[in-house]
Amino acid sequence: MALMAPRGKVPKDRSWKAAKIFMGKVDDFLQALIHYDKEHIPENCLKVVKEEYLKNPEFHPDLVRTKSFAASGLCAWVINIIRYYEVFCDVEPKRQALSQANTDLDTATGKLETIRKKLVDLDANLRRLTTRFEKATAEKVRCQDEVTRTNRTIELANRLVKGLESENIRWAQSVQLFEAQEKTLCGDTLLTAAFVSYIGSFTRHYRQELVESMWIPFLKSQKVPIPLTEGLDPIGMLTDNATVAAWNNEGLPSDRMSTENATILTNCERWPLMIDPQQQGIKWIKNKYGSDLKVVCLGQKGYLDTIERAVAGGETVLIENLEETVEPVLDTLLGRNTIKKGRYIRIGDKECEYSSRFRLILHTKLANPHYKPEMQAQSTLINFTVTRDGLEEQLLAEVVSTERPDLEKLKSELTKQQNDFKIELKRLEGELLTRLSAAKGSFLGDTVLVEKLETTKLTAAEIECKVFEAKENEIKINEAREFYRPAAERASVLYFIINDLSKINPMYQFSLKTFNIVFHKAIERAEKCDEVQERVVSLKDCITYSVFLYTSRGLFERDKLTFLSQTAFQILLINKAIDPQELDFLLRFNIELSSKSPVHFLSSQAWSAIKTMSMWDGFRGLDRDIEGSAKRWKKLVESECPEREKFPQEWKNKSSLQKLIMLRALRPDRMTYAVRNYVEENMGSKYVEGARMEFAKSYEESSPATPVFFILSAGVNPLKDVESLGKKLGFTIDLGKLHNVSLGQGQEVVAEKALEKASHEGHWVILQNVHLVAKWLGTLEKLLEKYSEGSHPDYRVFISAEPAATPDEHSIPQGILENSIKITNEPPTGMLANLHAALYNFDQDTLEMCAREQEFKSILFCLCYFHACVAERRKFGPQGWNRSYPFNTGDLTISVNVLYNYLEANTKVPWEDLCYLFGEIMYGGHITDDWDRRLCHTYLEEFMHPDMLEGELFLAPGFVAPPNLDYVGYHKYVDDVLPPESPVLYGLHPNAEIEFLTVISDNLFRTILEMQPRDLAIGEGSVQTAEEKVKNVLDDILEKLPEKFNMHEIMLKTSERTPYIVVCFQECERMNLLIHEIRRSLKELDLGLKGELTISSEMEALQSALYYDTVPGSWTKLAYPSTYGLGQWINDLLLRCRELDTWTQDLVLPAVVWLSGFFNPQSFLTSIMQSMARKNEWPLDKMCLTVDVTKKTKDDYGHPPREGAYIHGLYMEGARWDAQCGITEAWLKDLTPAMPVIYVRAIPVDRQETKSIYACPVYKTKTRGPTYVWTFNLKTKEKPARWILAGVALLLSV
């Protein structure tokens, strides 16, 4: 009712009664329900239904159904109608909106259709327009691309033209150069090929001379001159700066010599053989090839297998440390004797495949090897020996890197940078030229090419700027580095001085490696200074003194002054403080004996020297001044120490070197002292003080890689120092840490085991007398090298060996000596030191062990004095002993034991027995010369005398045999009573010391001369090379040399063959042989110097002898013994020829025969006996010669005697001849007074006079020994023993 109320007016009466009325008309009511306008329910009706019915819980169909099924239907209809209306109210606006949307859609769709029709028309039109547009755009792009390409081509062309513009001039010049080279190519190639093939073994000076002074002039002097590039550098033909720079970066020294060597090595066709004593070349080779290099040593285990694999695989092999001979198994490899068309080669008994890429490099550490011609033909010798300039540069880098590491680092970086620049520029230029040469057609489109060109030019410009900057920096760096050059120069000079010491003794070997260690330690020790110049002075002093200390401890005393003098002279020469010509004169001192002295205090030889000096500018007028101021000069000459005296007049203002020259002429015996003073004056007193370095300090410098090498002297055991130091440090035999092996008698295996054990466990090994196992020394060298690395840090090796008597007998490997600290130990010198040393072999217990104490003590002391005499007498040379003997303390101690036994066994002292035992067995066992044996007996006869027991025996003038004292008393007696050191203590005349000192001085200067650099320029303006000097001497000798004697003509002059004539013939024949050899060898050398003959070792020896003014060995073999220098020897030869020429004129015996002029004077003296034996019919074996010394000179005789002969030319040494007394005391400083004419004749032996006679030996020269001629019995009023002890003898030449 509420819902269906018309117009929404809900009746108020809604009771059941009213309801029934309302539903009265069922059909209408049903139709009203069916057709109810459910979409338009009035609001009021809706409100009433909701509030009054729907909210009532009982108004639910289910509940109503319980009352009335029809009512439940109406309930459900009401609820659903309301729900429908609510939904309709929600959906209707949307439906309306949809309807509106559909309407709009229909409108839009209509419009869309219209638009679509228009769009189809527009699309068709657009497609037509687009087609036209794309055609236009394509045409435009094509035109733009054409423009772009044209512009790019123009741009590239401009860039290329601009890029090549600067190259135009250079390339134009290059074209001209190539055109010129086309003409000179053959000559350039020939010269370069010769450079590679022949020049490698020479030093820098000879290389330069060979190329510039010989080869180039030779090529230009041909009938058809061979064209050559002016100023051609063979290195430039074979390599370039970039390659050289790469080598330098690999460790090759940057000096010219090293660059040449590397160029030859990398370009030679034959196998290169490096002469590399300083190991610089091998260091570069190992860096250059790196791990690709196979390094072997001949003799090492498996070395042949390594070589075979390398030959087959085409690898590079380095055979290092070659000796002068190579094992025959490698001959085929060295000669490349391939088989099977070059594909195989035989090594030993194997056929190995031969790769063409295989390369062999040979290396030796020998400084001056002599290889066989086959070896030189199979290999290219390359001399890598370091030069003084090259070493100076290296040492400069070392000192600057220590002093100014910033500078050296910058310098190193700049050098490397510049080298890298050169390499990079070379690479870029190479790529550019490759692209240019490979370009086809027009290369204007090759952008990469142009870009490469621009990159190259930019890089080149950049490099040019950097190079300019680098050069400016380098100039600044070099200026700063130059401050330190004097220190490097000094060190370089010192190295070459010590390197030359091996010329004195082969034991004196020093490596560059050990020298560098000394050099660095010296830099560290040098005094620090703020000022650079003061620091450099400090460095020079410290380097010099450090090298002196390091070197001198390994030199014998006699050689230390040589080393010091050479050091001083070389330093002064480098500093231009002395005149090279004056030094050369001092050392050579070539004097012709032509002037007789007008003053009595100078000998003819001294005056000849003065006259020679007077011709020099620095000494003009010296001869006149000496004659005019004889008293002043006499005082100087006769002074005990003339080297400390002032020279007279203005001569005292002369330089120290000029004073040395004058002193050598006036007092040659004092030159060792004068030179020592000279060294002290120029270098400082510390160099001449003679302080000995303690062994402990030397030990501190040793290491597992640096053994200590003791150079032994007779009578000294230096290994005591090792044992005493070992005790302090805990290395003793008892602890098992010291292995003492005395080599010989199969001890090599013991030594090898000891070295192996010691290297692992850190022990010490002493190897004594290694010179006795010369064949094992190569193994020892390898073992020392093997254990030098990776061994225990405490491991040390101490080696001892005696020096060889001659260089040819030297057997110690260079490697052992170079890497060792060498130490010499010498016995004491002088009677005082020797006598104390002899007594030190005994003690108080020894003196008291014999029951006959007085006799034992007295004889023991005399034995000690005798031992000191015979040991120290050796220093006087041949006048002391004809031969040098190794007397040692063992002789003394055994003699004392014999003395003890004989005194214990005899009631009386057996003087004769003791003299015989000591003289013939103990000491006499060493003696091989009869005259020395006589001397030894005479000593014992003089000292072993009953007078000693009475205290009346004088062992020397002013030295009485001591009374019965204790051990300390004898030492004190020696200190208090023994006279000062003098030859008189040994029974010799004081002149013996003058002679001994003169010989030492001459040897000193001779040795220093031989150590002078051969290529040293001597003076300015008049520089004479070694070859020019030799050539002058050679020509002079050939000009003076007489023709050979025509033996056929001479023999036809007489049919007689008397003993004298036979002697004359023999002498002429000997002279002919000598003259022939002199002329032959000189002409051969002349051809060698001209290059027409290959220089042999004999020619080289001859050249060296001529240069040093010594007589060549090939001549002395055919000649007579002589001590003269070459100039004097030639003059003596001419005199002998003249004497023979006079004799051969009529073959009549000369009035007075010059006995000294014979090759074989014995034959002439024998001919005297033969002549008289024939004349008097005496048996020759029962005859002897007797001599009468006349009072006349040669000129006083006009004809020979009826029997015998007059002879002259003899000199007495050790005494002089007095017409009244016979042999008598010599005058001081008159060393070898000439004898008057001697009348020699033969008499029967039984008529020979024996009383007051001294049996005087006659020798040919001062060397005595093997030059013995005869024995002349001379009258004497003194005991012959005096002259025996004085070493009196007659000499045929002095």
Determine whether 688 is exposed, middle or buried from the number of CB atoms within 10 Å of its CB (0-12, 13-18, 19+): middle
Low-confidence ranges of the chain (pLDDT < 70): 1, 7-8, 163-164, 166-171, 408, 411-412, 415, 419, 422, 440-446, 594-595, 691, 715, 1014-1024
Strands 1152-1154 and 1205-1208: parallel
pLDDT at 484: 87
> Which of 980, 962, 979 minimizes the C-alpha distance to 971?
962
Instruction: Quote the CA–CA distance of 356 and 314 in Å, as a whole number.
Output: 7
Q: What count of other Cβ atoms lies within 10 Å of the Cβ of residue 19?
A: 13
Instruction: Quote the CA–CA distance of 225 and 219 in Å, as a whole number.
Output: 6
**Residue pair 230/351 in contact by the 8 Å Cβ criterion:** no
Determine whether 293 is exposed, middle or buried from the number of CB atoms within 10 Å of its CB (0-12, 13-18, 19+): middle
Q: What count of other Cβ atoms lies within 10 Å of the Cβ of residue 712?
A: 19
Q: What count of other Cβ atoms lies within 10 Å of the Cβ of residue 928?
A: 12
CA distances from 1009 to 563, 808, 996, 1013, 1107 (A): 12, 21, 20, 9, 10
Q: Is 320 helix (H, G, I), strand (E, B) or coil?
A: strand
Sign of the CA dihedral running 730, 735, 737, 743: positive
pLDDT at 396: 86
pLDDT at 181: 79
Count how many residues are written for the chain: 1294
Flag whether the pTM goes above 0.85.
no
CB neighbour list of residue 1005: distance below 8 Å, 6 or more residues apart: 586, 587, 589, 664, 671
pLDDT at 988: 93
Angle between helices 512-525 and 532-552 (to 10 degrees): 130
pLDDT digits (tens, 9 = 90+) for 705-726: 899 999 988 767 778 888 889 9
* Residue 563 identity: F
Q: Is 413 helix (H, G, I), strand (E, B) or coil?
A: helix
> Which of 366, 484, 468 minimizes the C-alpha distance to 417?
468
Q: Is 1212 helix (H, G, I), strand (E, B) or coil?
A: strand
Instruction: Quote the CA–CA distance of 803 and 714 in Å, as a whole number.
Output: 11
Longest dimension (CA), the chain: 221
Q: What count of other Cβ atoms lies within 10 Å of the Cβ of residue 351?
A: 13
Determine whether 424 is exposed, middle or buried from the number of CB atoms within 10 Å of its CB (0-12, 13-18, 19+): middle
pLDDT at 661: 92
The gap from C-alpha 812 to its chain's centroid, in whole angstroms, comes to 17
pLDDT at 441: 64
**Residue pair 1044/1072 in contact by the 8 Å Cβ criterion:** yes
Instruction: Quote the CA–CA distance of 717 and 723 in Å, as a whole number.
Output: 11
Phi and psi (nearest 5°) for 805?
-65, -35
Angle between helices 630-637 and 656-666 (to 10 degrees): 90
Tell me the two tokens of residue 993: 């010391």
**Residue pair 1017/1023 in contact by the 8 Å Cβ criterion:** yes
E-strand stretches of 825-889: none
pLDDT at 240: 80
Tell me the two tokens of residue 822: 């060498």
pLDDT at 119: 92
pLDDT at 945: 81
Q: What count of other Cβ atoms lies within 10 Å of the Cβ of residue 992?
A: 26
pLDDT digits (tens, 9 = 90+) for 1214-1273: 999 998 888 999 998 888 999 999 999 999 988 888 888 999 999 999 999 899 999 999
CB neighbour list of residue 391: distance below 8 Å, 6 or more residues apart: 492, 495, 496, 512
Determine whether 982 is exposed, middle or buried from the number of CB atoms within 10 Å of its CB (0-12, 13-18, 19+): middle
pLDDT at 512: 85
pLDDT at 797: 93
CB neighbour list of residue 888: distance below 8 Å, 6 or more residues apart: 714, 715
Kind and range of the H or E element at 1244? strand 1238-1244
**Residue pair 626/662 in contact by the 8 Å Cβ criterion:** no
> Which of 316, 346, 353 minimizes the C-alpha distance to 331?
346
* Residue 891 identity: D
pLDDT at 1018: 38
pLDDT at 1015: 57
Determine whether 894 is exposed, middle or buried from the number of CB atoms within 10 Å of its CB (0-12, 13-18, 19+): middle
Alpha-carbon Rg for the chain, nearest whole angstrom, is 56
